[in-house]
Structure 1
Amino acid sequence: MAEVNTRKRGSNWEYRFEIASVGGKRKQKSKGGFRTKKEALEAGTKALNEYNNTGLTFTASDMSISDYMDLWFEEYCKLNYKYNTLLNYRGHIEHHIKPALGEYKLSALKPTAVQMFVNNFKIKGYSKSHTVGIFTTLSSALDYAIEPLKLIQFNPASPVKIPRFEPRDSIRYVISVKDFKRILDKFPPGHPFYIPTILGYMAGLRKSEVYGISWDDIDFKNKTLHISKSVYKRYADMTRQTKGFGWFIGTPKTYKSDRIVKLDDWTISELKKEKIRQQENRLFYGRYYTTLYKRVEKDDAGNDIYKIIESVIPLDLPPLNLVCVRENGVYCDSDTEKYYSKVIRNNLKIKFNFHSLRHTHATILMENGANPVDVAERLGHANIEQTFAYTHNTLKMQAQSIDILADVVKL
């Protein structure tokens, strides 16, 4: 077994140890420049331990949950997930998993500790969806520790049960046609929230998709919309998520999200009017009109992403002809939706969030007999089961079920 040796070279110390031979020739690893023999020996011991663990600076027996979650996030999550998912995971890790379990050793974590960790969220009044999200983050990380890392043999989250939560109707609402018209009256043509509301309700788009649509995505002749990108906020410091952010364009949520959506005549008509309105605004503001550009950058996995740049001065960058802009051309980002949603809830007294538009779109189609396969493709769902779980069981659907039963039985 290799041992760490030290020797003095000039006024400094050096460590040295033998490593695997290459081509039958003996090899050694060494590093100098240490002030004392003790410093050289400590550094050499650490380097030998890392070498014996194939480049890892730890052993599973003494690694903390806190350090492991950072390892999982850096080595797996950043290479496999979209940025918004990374933000959720980072929040779960920093605000919940590390404070409660971070000091435990990875190899010593038991199901009892994980069960108490999960139960505590219900005690604190967290929603079921939030609790499941945090638990799933932890469980997924522990699965990765089993395979492929082989740091542990059993996932202590596997036997854990999610507490029973009372059902809440606070996330998804069906927006009636009457309320949809009231919302459009509140935010009429020319308002920054007018077109996003229409695209959410009439096309079933995600918020991140709506705010990434450009005019060249719309085929007015064939009445189609190509969803090929999404917009998200990217922070300079993902952990703190306080300041230093920009808006970026990336690929859609999943491969199924890249799709062609058919549009109705009215929606096409409103989009045409909006395009003409923007052209008139550009002429009106002249050199004070803001133009949007895209600048290529890299995400954590090395993929190309595009930062949205605003400027009244011409730039040597590709232009972005986004649909969702303000009167003077400034980008209308998805954060503005939070304010408009509050107005709808507080002033119009409509239970609303932007996702309700997409949920309503799916429910209306299913309620009126649309083919579930077509609805799934329209929404960009990865599978049809997701679409069935997504829609709202309305009184009209229940009545249709009763009619079907009566027609079959005929008593």
Structure 2
Amino acid sequence: MAELNITKRGKSWQYRFEAAKIEGKRKQISKGGFKTKKECLEAGTKALAEYNHSGLHFEPTEISVCDYLDYWFDTYCKIELKYNTQIAYLSIIENHLKPKFGNYKLSSINPTILIEYANQLKINGFSKSHLVGILSTFSTALDYSVQPLKYIKENPMNYVKFPKVERKPKERIVLSQEEFQIIINRFPAGNRFHIPLLIGWNCGLRISETFALTWDDIDFENKTLTVNKQIVKRNYGLDVRKVFKEKNKREEKSSWYFSDPKYNSNRTIKIGTTLITALKAEKKKQQEYELQYGEYYTIYVKKKEYDEKGNEMFRIIPVQKCINPVLPRVKLICICENGEYTSTDSFKYCSRVIHTQLKLAFDYHSLRHTHATILIENGANPKSVQERLGHKKIETTLQTYVHNTEVMEQNAVDIFENVTNGILYTK
């Protein structure tokens, strides 16, 4: 058990006690500047009791919000959260929470200052999702300080009622068949973006799922497509903080990885003859190009790695065809003529062309919206649509992707008319 030492330095008093050794070296916790010996003894006794209780190398009652958020991020976020979620949390911490609360003591955070902050976010014009994201992140961090750390007795955010913000309706783009035909005419068969566009239109996949597809995922005989992974871009070589701060360098040092689909939404879906025919033609063309380019053709192999939580991930590594790789080859569907991967980043060019040249409202997710809407308009069972899209809950399918279009309204009228046989009720 550490002993408390009180010493006088000049006109002030200082306490000091031994802490646990770090890497075999002695570590002391001390604080000075007390005017009287009694004041120093009281503060030192309290600090020592807190240290013996927590076993930490800082005093919980004195830790700043800034230091605590760093500690929470390192001990919780890096271990429990996915990489992209870590980046999102880090953005909120560095851009919002630290500038506002960083200099506060953690123990001094109370509902009053949190309510004022929440109201100020609303006044500053933050959207509902952004406001809730900031406050929820702070609330989650404070929960961790209550349990398991026990730095504070309760979470002051529990007493904060988020201000009501009028939700701006998010524009959900639904393409007409004529508009999609214009897009396909601009990116015809043989173009690197043709197949990704057809997959989005015919299957409603997320963009990360489409660009993770390999030929093993297509069953031509049974006309099915299997979603068992998604593509993500990240860097394991750098600490996530460094990646966040060095955004320009991040692009140079990052790699593409296979990971589990969102919500682990593994699924096998039926696909139609139109897409099957296009995929067969694409596969045949890729085989011809591989023979044509020979040793200069780019192929991809996958290397098993692990994320911070110990989950398996596979890094996609490009190599020349002339090299005999030890790692297993992965045959991606979305590639260029010379075998190079067509990624979600590459697809930004396609979206830009559709916006600027074709003058159409578009993003890849609009293909997903459109796919769901066409199915529902034409009588598809919502449960089947949910499973096809890989939604965790059917409410997501109904509330987010299924839109009450004029066709749906007319269908409702026609159904009622057919059931009642157009009977005219009179008094």
TM-score (ref. length: structure 2): 0.81
* Equivalence for 2:94: 94
* Equivalence for 1:388: 398
Q: Please, which moves more after superposition, 288-297 or 241-250? A: 241-250
Residues 385 and 31 (structure 1), Cα distance of their counterparts in 2 relative to 1, 3 Å cut = closer
Partner deviation per Cα, 1:40-84 (whole Å, 9 max, x = no partner): 5759x9x97786244433444323332333333333333333222
Percent identical residues: 44
* Equivalence for 1:63: 63
Residues 357 and 112 (structure 1), Cα distance of their counterparts in 2 relative to 1, 3 Å cut = farther
The answer (yes or no) to whether the contact 1:201–1:360 under 8 Å persists in 2 is yes
* Equivalence for 1:271: 279
The AA in structure 2 aligned to 1:293 is V
* Equivalence for 1:247: 256
C-alpha distance in 1 between matches for 2:196 and 2:122:
35
- Unmatched segments (≥5 aa) in structure 2: 7-15, 32-43
The AA in structure 2 aligned to 1:393 is N
C-alpha distance in 1 between matches for 2:335 and 2:274:
21
* Equivalence for 1:358: 368
Q: Please, which moves more after superposition, 238-247 or 259-268? A: 238-247
Q: How does 1:279-298 map to 2 (within 5 A)?
A: 279-298=287-306
TM-score (ref. length: structure 1): 0.84
The AA in structure 2 aligned to 1:239 is F
The AA in structure 2 aligned to 1:288 is Y
Partner deviation per Cα, 1:179-199 (whole Å, 9 max, x = no partner): 111111111112222111111
* Equivalence for 1:138: 138
Count of matched residue positions in the alignment of Structure 1 and Structure 2: 386
Residues 314 and 300 (structure 1), Cα distance of their counterparts in 2 relative to 1, 3 Å cut = same
Matched residue SS, 2:103: coil
Deviation at 1:120, TM superposition (A): 4.3
Residues 54 and 207 (structure 1), Cα distance of their counterparts in 2 relative to 1, 3 Å cut = same
Partner deviation per Cα, 1:290-331 (whole Å, 9 max, x = no partner): 111111222111222111111113322111111111111111
The AA in structure 2 aligned to 1:84 is N
Matched residue SS, 1:103: coil
C-alpha distance in 2 between matches for 1:41 and 1:141:
26
- Unmatched segments (≥5 aa) in structure 1: 7-14, 20-28
Deviation at 1:122, TM superposition (A): 4.6
Matched residue SS, 2:255: strand
Matched residue SS, 1:143: helix
Matched residue SS, 1:72: helix
The AA in structure 1 aligned to 2:216 is D
* Equivalence for 1:164: 165
The answer (yes or no) to whether the contact 2:2–2:17 under 8 Å persists in 1 is no
From 310, 320, 325, the equivalent of 1:302 is 310
From 402, 407, 410, the equivalent of 1:399 is 410
Deviation at 1:125, TM superposition (A): 4.5
Residues 376 and 148 (structure 1), Cα distance of their counterparts in 2 relative to 1, 3 Å cut = farther
Matched residue SS, 2:188: coil
The answer (yes or no) to whether the contact 2:122–2:163 under 8 Å persists in 1 is no
C-alpha distance in 1 between matches for 2:22 and 2:170:
64
Residues 57 and 160 (structure 1), Cα distance of their counterparts in 2 relative to 1, 3 Å cut = farther
* Equivalence for 2:355: 345
Aligned residues: CA RMSD: 3.1
Q: Please, which moves more after superposition, 363-372 or 379-388? A: 363-372
Pairing 1:368–2:378 present: yes
Deviation at 1:127, TM superposition (A): 3.8
Matched residue SS, 2:243: coil
* Equivalence for 2:74: 74
C-alpha distance in 2 between matches for 1:89 and 1:18:
32
Deviation at 1:91, TM superposition (A): 1.7
Pairing 1:319–2:322 present: no
The AA in structure 2 aligned to 1:110 is N
Q: Please, which moves more after superposition, 57-66 or 87-96? A: 57-66
Deviation at 1:222, TM superposition (A): 0.9
Deviation at 1:30, TM superposition (A): 9.9
Q: Please, which moves more after superposition, 161-170 or 101-110? A: 161-170
Residues 275 and 42 (structure 1), Cα distance of their counterparts in 2 relative to 1, 3 Å cut = same
The answer (yes or no) to whether the contact 2:188–2:194 under 8 Å persists in 1 is yes
Q: Please, which moves more after superposition, 311-320 or 373-382? A: 311-320
Pairing 1:226–2:226 present: yes
C-alpha distance in 1 between matches for 2:19 and 2:221:
72
From 321, 339, 344, the equivalent of 1:334 is 344
C-alpha distance in 2 between matches for 1:295 and 1:93:
33
The AA in structure 1 aligned to 2:195 is I
* Equivalence for 2:199: 199
